[in-house]
């Protein structure tokens, strides 16, 4: 017996500069833009559901994970990614 899975599309509009920055981040991390966006959305949703009563910034946690992954692959955190995520330093 097969179970049907229905997908929904989520989209946004980016300026050319924002799109270029997104692709730069994807190249550093080694993933597609669709994968990056999907993972970001799901991480934020999952964190929000688990920590609804706590004050927490899910974007900071996701940025930290991106930082760790990119450092493992490239051994340095690109400044462009930090600018994209609006952070100076992740601790």
* Domain residue extents for the chain: 16-85
pTM of structure: 0.50
Task: Render pLDDT for 4-40 as a digit per residue (tens, 0 to 9).
Answer: 888 899 999 999 999 999 999 999 988 899 999 998 8
Contacts 24+ apart (CB under 8 A), 82-90: 83/21, 84/21, 84/22, 84/25, 85/59, 87/60, 87/63, 90/60, 90/63, 90/64
């Amino acid at each position: 017996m097969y179970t049907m899975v229905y997908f929904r599309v989520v989209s946004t509009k980016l300026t050319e500069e924002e799109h270029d920055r997104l692709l730069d981040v994807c190249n550093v991390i080694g993933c597609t833009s669709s994968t990056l966006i999907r993972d970001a959305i799901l991480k934020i949703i999952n964190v929000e559901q688990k920590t609804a009563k706590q004050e927490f910034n899910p974007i900071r946690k996701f940025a930290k994970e991106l930082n760790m992954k990119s450092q493992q692959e490239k051994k340095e955190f690109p400044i462009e990614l930090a600018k994209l995520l609006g952070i100076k330093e992740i601790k």
